[in-house]
A and B are shown apart, each in its own frame.
Chain A
Amino acid sequence: DIQMTQSPSSLSASVGDRVTITCQASQDIHNYLNWYQQKPGKAPRLLIYDVFNLETGVPSRFSGSGSGTDFTFTISSLQPEDIATYYCQQSGHLPFTFGPGTKVDLK
Chain B
Amino acid sequence: EVQLLESGGGLKHPGGSLRLSCAASGFTFSGYAMSWVRQAPGKGLEWVSGISGDAGNTYYADSVKGRFTISRDNSKNMLYLQINSLRAEDTALFFCAKDRQYSIGCHTMWGQGTMVTVSS
Q: Interface 1/0s, chain A 49-93, versus B by CB < 8 A?
A: 110000100000000000000000000000000000001010100
Give the residues from 28 to 73 in chain B that come closer than 8 angstroms, CB to CB, to chain A.
35, 37, 44-47, 50, 59-62
Closest to B104 in A: A91
Contacts A1-B62, A94-B59, A95-B61; is A46 near B107 (CB within 8 Å)?
yes
Closest to B110 in A: A43
| B contact face: mostly helix, strand, loop, or mixed | strand
| A contact face: mostly helix, strand, loop, or mixed | loop
Is B80 positioned at the interface, with any CB of A under 8 Å from its CB? no
Is B12 positioned at the interface, with any CB of A under 8 Å from its CB? no
A27 to chain B, nearest CB (A): 16
Interface size on A, residues (CB 8 A): 24
B45 near A44 (CB under 8 angstroms)? yes
Contacts A49-B100, A98-B45, A98-B47; is A44 near B107 (CB within 8 Å)?
yes
Q: Which residues of chain A are near B106, meaning CB under 8 Å?
A: 32, 34, 46, 49-50, 91
Residues of chain B at the chain A interface (Cβ within 8 Å)? 35, 37, 44-47, 50, 59-62, 95, 100, 103-113
Residues of chain A at the chain B interface (Cβ within 8 Å)? 1, 32, 34, 36, 38, 42-46, 49-50, 55, 87, 89, 91, 94-101
